[in-house]
Amino acid sequence: MNETLADAGVETAVTSDASSCFARFVNVQKSYDGVELVVKDFNLDIRKGEFVTLLGPSGSGKTTCLMMMAGFETPTHGEILLKDEPISGLPPHKRGIGMVFQNYALFPHMTVAENLAFPLEVRHLSKAEIKEKVAKALAMVRLEEFGDRRPAQLSGGQQQRVALARALVFEPELVLMDEPLGALDKNLREEMQYEIKRIHARLGVTMIYVTHDQTEALTMSDRIAVFNDGIVQQLASPDELYERPENAFVAYFIGENNRLVGEVSEHLGDNCKVRLDSGDTVIAKPIAVGGVGSRTTLSLRPERVSILSGDAEEQFDNQFTATVQEVIYLGDHLRTRVTVCGNDDFILKTANAQGVGVMRPGQHIQVGWSSADCRALDV
């Protein structure tokens, strides 16, 4: 196994030009029962040092993909390549991939230091080397004092950090994380997100991260693969995903989103006219729509909708009268639920700035948005 790692190391040194892919999924399919495909056709190229997140609702196949990379599941079809070498035939312990499990999987009968020493011992490192590396790894996650404790004597966050240190202590080039922060409370989770990012930046390891929490994905990742139904719906950087979702699922899954449903009535160069079911006509940007007459879902971020005060400068190509239903005060901003174009679940987000008037339920207001922010997607 040492040999494999060493070989691999040499190879990266030779072919470490940026363009080459570090890990690849090529047409990977997976079925457990031979009837249903859990992963339908998964393709992903991961560059060296990248932080890629597989994001999706539970049962979307993201964890299965991770397990196939780790070697605990075999693809039914397709190939997984690590540094251009197919690894399907390689058992997990020969892959040299670090992994952080959902419930940490720290060995309860060993101390923290023994847990960290395990991957080094099985690689037959000398005692002195092991001691040094364990100490370094503990320092990295700031748990120097905890080497002699048992995992059960640590808090959730500390256990999480030990799990992270254990996955990194043998210096793998690829680290997989399966919803590692799922068991932590919100504050700790945010702290750990930062910590993982910091370690990723410092060590430059490639990380594949699985989560169903979109905020986590947006904060941490270089690129995100949004999973649904065994297919990658969109693979893009966080801002790209948020600003320019390519289909209704991604728009709905990432961030908050107002939906208006209608059918395309006219194409106008870069834009199109959509006739909503309520009878109103909206100008939108066609992203994933067919010709005139096809059904479409318009996606519009709440913060991109403005409340018009009546000034002449405010000009939007979409302007409607809305009825205020509910105002929720959130401190730094206000969420206002209004009825517009037949949708009574339409959310507006406005900054709590000076000069913003108080709205009351039942009040009629003018709202407007730019056609560039209104994306016509599939149904």
User: Does position 119 bind other proteins by CB under 8 A?
Assistant: yes
Closer of 85 and 314 to other proteins (Cβ): 85
Residues 177-206 that bind other proteins (CB under 8 A): none
SS3 assignment, position 161: helix
User: Of the candidates 72, 237, 319, 379, which one interacts with other proteins according to CB under 8 A?
Assistant: 72
Task: Note whether 296 and 259 are within 8 A (CB).
Answer: no
Element (H, E) at 328: strand 318-329
User: Does position 294 bind other proteins by CB under 8 A?
Assistant: no
Which among 20-28, 81-89, 92-100, 346-354 is the span making contact with other proteins, rule CB under 8 A?
92-100
Residues 337-366 that bind other proteins (CB under 8 A): none
User: Does position 151 bind other proteins by CB under 8 A?
Assistant: no
DSSP 217-239: HHHH-SEEEEEETTEEEEEE-HH
Task: Note whether 346 and 288 are within 8 A (CB).
Answer: no
CA triplet 27, 31, 37: central angle to 5 degrees?
70
SS3 assignment, position 254: coil
Task: Note whether 284 and 272 are within 8 A (CB).
Answer: yes
User: Does position 293 bind other proteins by CB under 8 A?
Assistant: no
User: Of the candidates 99, 141, 217, 347, which one interacts with other proteins according to CB under 8 A?
Assistant: 99
Return the DSSP state at 378: -
User: Does position 97 bind other proteins by CB under 8 A?
Assistant: yes
User: Does position 118 bind other proteins by CB under 8 A?
Assistant: yes
| Number of residues in contact with other proteins under rule CB under 8 A | 28
Q: Which residues sit opposite 297 in a β-bridge?
A: 261, 377
Closer of 46 and 338 to other proteins (Cβ): 46
Closer of 62 and 375 to other proteins (Cβ): 62
* CA atoms 214, 232, 240, 44: torsion sign: positive
Q: Which residues bind other proteins (CB under 8 A)?
A: 1, 70-72, 91-93, 95-99, 101-103, 105-109, 118-119, 122-123, 166-167, 170, 176
